[in-house]
Amino acid sequence: MLKNGKKYKSDEEFFARFKIFQSNLKIIEEKNAKYNPTTFYAVNKFADLSKQEFKEMYLMNNLPPYRPNGEVLYTNITAPTTWDWRTKGACTPVKDQGQCGSCWAFSATENIESVHQIAKQQLPVLAPQQIVDCDKQDYGCSGGWPYVAFGYVTNAKGQDTESTYPYTARDGSCKFKIANVAAVINGYKSIPKVETQIQSLLTSTAPFSVCVDAEEWSFYSGGVVTPDQCGKSVDHCVQMVGYDLTKSPSYYIVRNSWGTDWGMSGFIYLQTGSDTCLVADYVTSAVSA
């Protein structure tokens, strides 16, 4: 409670949360007994939430059908053994979506920021709230797809900055002003569901938008998540910023949007080669205008 600034309205709520906390402690201990030393789990700001509450607050609970129509990228380039866009100045600081299933808007925004930096040598901090409020093809805090968000930003002629369109962690009315646009894109491209292609294209394109199964991520604190630790139901979107094929197990470097007090300062490693948590299934990237 002290570490995470938790306050409860009554003794009844305190004891209810403490009971959930005790149950989650057992889950964390079981996970560590099963997966340590490859992966580590620990108490964090989600430890007083039931699994259902976590899903409702931080994951996507409603999704339009997945029907991307962007051109599919391919490459003949062989990927280097390691890559990290963070070291190349292409990533903004880790963000926090709060209690809103807006991860898809964050994933799209983070990709647009990176694409803009790579093309223009400028790294704007853009406004996911604009996409939450103004993209009427998706479902705001209930969920959506980054590729649809790319379509919205293309048609809107750009995306505002975070400073001019601040994040509220809730659905709101569209307040977009084209005068505040800091980045413009021209559609998007899909990435094939082939991990060697994903790795090669990542190095030559940008940090990608990816959507995953994150139901078991709540207490992650370090190490590499292996395929047996997550399911196959897409419920969250993130940003793939790199990979390391020299380690065992090899892994993707994935940026989340649950703040720097989650995971490894906001990041998680997912094992390569086995479509861990669906990491290879829903990969897209905006195209700079």
Q: In the annotation, is 103 catalytic?
A: yes
Q: What is the pLDDT of residue 113?
A: 98
Amino acid present at 10: S
Which helix (H) or strand (E) segment holds residue 226: the answer is none
231 CB-side CA count, 13 A: 8
The predicted model gives 56-70 an average pLDDT of: 93
The predicted model gives 132-159 an average pLDDT of: 97
Q: In terms of Cα–Cα distance, which of 55, 59, 50, 62 is closest to 24?
A: 50
**What total number of domains does the chain contain?**
1
| Residue 283 belongs to some domain of the structure | yes
**29: domain CATH number?**
3.90.70.10
The predicted model gives 112-122 an average pLDDT of: 98
Q: What is the distance between the alpha carbons of residues 162 and 155, in angstroms, rounded to a whole number?
A: 19
| Residue 250 belongs to some domain of the structure | yes
The answer to whether 176 and 152 have CB atoms below 8 angstroms apart is no
| Residue 76 belongs to some domain of the structure | yes
Percent of the chain predicted with pLDDT > 70: 100
The predicted model gives 126-135 an average pLDDT of: 98
Q: What is the pLDDT of residue 30?
A: 98
Is a pLDDT exceeding 90 seen at residue 23? yes
Q: In the annotation, is 236 catalytic?
A: yes
Residues 25-34 have pLDDT tens digits of 999 999 999 9
| Residue 2 belongs to some domain of the structure | no
Q: Among the options 230, 236, 237, 277, which is catalytic?
A: 236
| Residue 227 belongs to some domain of the structure | yes
The answer to whether 107 and 257 have CB atoms below 8 angstroms apart is yes
Q: What is the pLDDT of residue 141?
A: 97
Domain that holds residue 229: 11-288
Percent of the chain predicted with pLDDT > 90: 99
Q: What's this model's pTM, rounded to 2 decimal places? A: 0.97
Here the tokens at position 288 are: 């700079």
Q: What φ, ψ does residue 110 adopt, rounded to 5°?
A: -65, -40
Q: Among the options 24, 44, 91, 103, which is catalytic?
A: 103
| Residue 224 belongs to some domain of the structure | yes
Residues 31-52 have pLDDT tens digits of 999 999 999 999 999 999 999 9
Q: In the annotation, is 116 catalytic?
A: no
| Residue 163 belongs to some domain of the structure | yes
| Residue 6 belongs to some domain of the structure | no
Residues 197-230 have pLDDT tens digits of 999 999 999 999 999 999 999 999 999 999 999 9
Is a pLDDT exceeding 90 seen at residue 70? no
Residues 10-21 have pLDDT tens digits of 999 999 999 999
Which helix (H) or strand (E) segment holds residue 201: the answer is helix 195-204
Interior angle at CA 239, CA 237 and CA 245, nearest 5 = 120
Is a pLDDT exceeding 90 seen at residue 262? yes
Helix (H, G, I), strand (E, B), or coil: what is residue 199? helix
Which helix (H) or strand (E) segment holds residue 58: the answer is helix 51-58
Q: Among the options 134, 230, 256, 277, which is catalytic?
A: 256
Q: What φ, ψ does residue 230 adopt, rounded to 5°?
A: -150, 165
Here the tokens at position 81 are: 């053994």
